[in-house]
Amino acid sequence: MCDGTPLKVIDPVDTEGMLDIGSVSDSVIFGDCRTVLSRLPDSSVDMVFMDPPYHLQLPKKDLKRWNQNNVVVAVRDEWDSFGSFEEYDRFIEEVLVEVKRVLKEKGALWVISTYHSIHRIGKIMQDLGFWILNDVHWVKTNPMPNWLGVRFTNATETLLWALRDKDAKGYTFHRDRAKEFGIGKVGANVWVIPLCTGEERLKNSEGTRLHSTQKPAELLRRVTLTSTNEGDLILDPFAGTGTTGHVARELGRKFIMIEANPDYIPGMAERFTFGAPGPKDKRIKELEEAMAEGEGEEGDP
Amino acid sequence: MCDGTPLKVIDPVDTEGMLDIGSVSDSVIFGDCRTVLSRLPDSSVDMVFMDPPYHLQLPKKDLKRWNQNNVVVAVRDEWDSFGSFEEYDRFIEEVLVEVKRVLKEKGALWVISTYHSIHRIGKIMQDLGFWILNDVHWVKTNPMPNWLGVRFTNATETLLWALRDKDAKGYTFHRDRAKEFGIGKVGANVWVIPLCTGEERLKNSEGTRLHSTQKPAELLRRVTLTSTNEGDLILDPFAGTGTTGHVARELGRKFIMIEANPDYIPGMAERFTFGAPGPKDKRIKELEEAMAEGEGEEGDP
DNA sequence: AAGTTGGTTGAATCCCACA
DNA sequence: TTGTGGGATTCAACCAACT
């Protein structure tokens, strides 16, 4: 699954001008994706997978779980707070303009979001000339139940798959994979996948989740296998825990990841080195134990 | 299911000024919904269900079925064709402004569309201050396959359920119904329903479909039962074959329908009178036969 | 009568070489 | 550039005709 090749971590401040695709391949670039994207060349990427902030607009007070004392850990990270729809729209548009520029002629874009913002994203995509091929619906087998009973339980997230240009012919699509993944015999646009939990979920030093919205690797596998070829270059401007790159490596694709939050970089790098979810992973524990026992016995020269 | 009470057909040209809710209740009003809506009073409707044109932008060329001597009858109705997204957006916004005005304080809006236009509609809804409660995904058991295998089979349509105002408290939601309809045990936002075909599908005088996009009654039942109470007033600005009103009557709700295309009115009215799909329905055939046999025997005085 | 077969259809942004 | 024709390939549901 993972050969242990470490993840290159690139700080673009170390250089000036355009970044060379070859030298930033298979790396994570630290920084605001708008700035980093602007330093990547035109028409150089086969596929972009994008998991932007959702603009959830959650209430300021923590939601109290009904009849329980604990507090639901809601998504209220700083990176997901925008003052208004206008501000959010502007941000998304700036990113998408750059994404369109760096995509190859027959390149494709995947975006994932929820009803809070997917309509804004989809509208902007269409206005910029992206050509939507499908909406794909991720149905979670284990969604967070809606304990207040005031709405339907939101068990889905929406992915949009779009071409850079409307009339692009010969884009990549592996129908056999689509039929394997989509429900029914027709390769429908519905994927049933559990949430990312347990061992797969990266943990921080306190043992709680490292990232609030880590996507399941299976989701990225399906995206990658249906719409890219081996050796293709995949770009993720909102890398988070690095699932996109991790799956890309597993499936023999190249990747460039961009992440603005330094808190995520160590966990992401660890994941590549150990091919494992994170600090709680058995292999890491074993390694730590081995290191503790054999302290001083081994070391890099 | 249907008591045979005929459907009132109202031509608003017959009167001037505002329309009285009482007198247009349980009727279909003939005309452009923007004009008709503007003549309905503020805050008078409990729920709006809206199935607008999708602006499909299908190719001019027919898709041939190569194992049989015919083509796919595409949706190329004039009412679905707009010059541009801008024109489409303007149309939708004009309708939604009026919809918001006629909705009661705790009123809700349902909209259905596909990826072709749902994002534009959702964005406009948010900009107008509608508060999206859920996206609900209709998964079709029998979608048309993507024969050429160049995309995922599009097996879904998206419904958006939204409040007129963000902070409305005490809006109508029947969670037991939601649990009954949504997949899983949590009342999830995914509904699996077959397409509207067979006897249920209204036919024209030639025996082919009366309307290119008739929705299944089961879809409207779920919308109605989860988000309205008995006696509520439901408005449908794009009535088509009148499924919304027909289901409303079946479930003890009041309704106002608006339809701009006169071709659909007779079929719609027939459906109410006979509680039946249309000319091909058995009951209608029986009636016709009985009338032929007993010609002259009975008659209105 | 009950089951089988063949034909038709569904909101579809569905191909490609060649003239 | 647009139009034509060759050829490659989907499934569930419904219905009419037939066994």
Structure tokens at A148: 């207040």
Taken in order A74, A84, B157, B165, the sign of the CA dihedral is: positive
Residue A10 contacts B, CB cutoff 8 Å:
no
In this complex, the answer to whether residue B243 has its CB under 7 A from any atom of chain C, a nucleic strand, is no
Residue A76 has what pLDDT? 55
For residue A179, which nucleotide's C1' is closest to its Cα?
D10
Q: Cα–Cα distance between A250 and B46 in angstroms, integer?
A: 53
Query: Consecutive sets of 10 residues in chain B, 301 residues long: mean pLDDT of each?
Result: 81 96 98 98 98 94 89 92 96 98 98 98 98 98 95 98 96 96 93 94 93 97 98 98 97 98 95 62 44 41 27
Residue A295 has what pLDDT? 36
Residue A56 has what pLDDT? 74
Residue B112 contacts A, CB cutoff 8 Å:
no
| Residue ranges of chain A with per-residue pLDDT less than 70 | 1-3, 57-81, 275-301
Closest CA to B108 of B48, B187, B176: B48
Residue A57 contacts B, CB cutoff 8 Å:
no
Q: Cα–Cα distance between B67 and B86 in angstroms, integer?
A: 40
Query: What's the CA angle centered on A256, arms A250 and A260, to 5 degrees?
Result: 120
Q: Cα–Cα distance between A245 and A235 in angstroms, integer?
A: 8
Task: Decide: B156 and B99 in contact? Cβ < 8 Å.
Answer: no
Closest CA to A147 of B175, B108, B136, B137: B175
CB contact under 8 A, B119 and A123: yes
Could you tell me the CA-to-CA distances from A112 to A48, A83, B164, B167 in Å, in that order?
Answer: 11, 21, 27, 27
SS3 (DSSP) at A259: strand
Q: Cα–Cα distance between B202 and B205 in angstroms, integer?
A: 10
**Chain A residues lying within 8 Å of B195, measured CB to CB:** none
Query: What's the CA angle centered on A99, arms A94 and A101, to 5 degrees?
Result: 100
Q: Cα–Cα distance between A271 and B64 in angstroms, integer?
A: 50
B window 9-38: Cβ near strand C (< 7 A): none
Helical ranges in B200-259 per DSSP H: 217-227, 243-250
To the nearest whole Å, the CA of B165 is away from the closest chain A CA by: 15
Which domains does chain A show, CATH number per domain?
A: 8-293 (3.40.50.150)
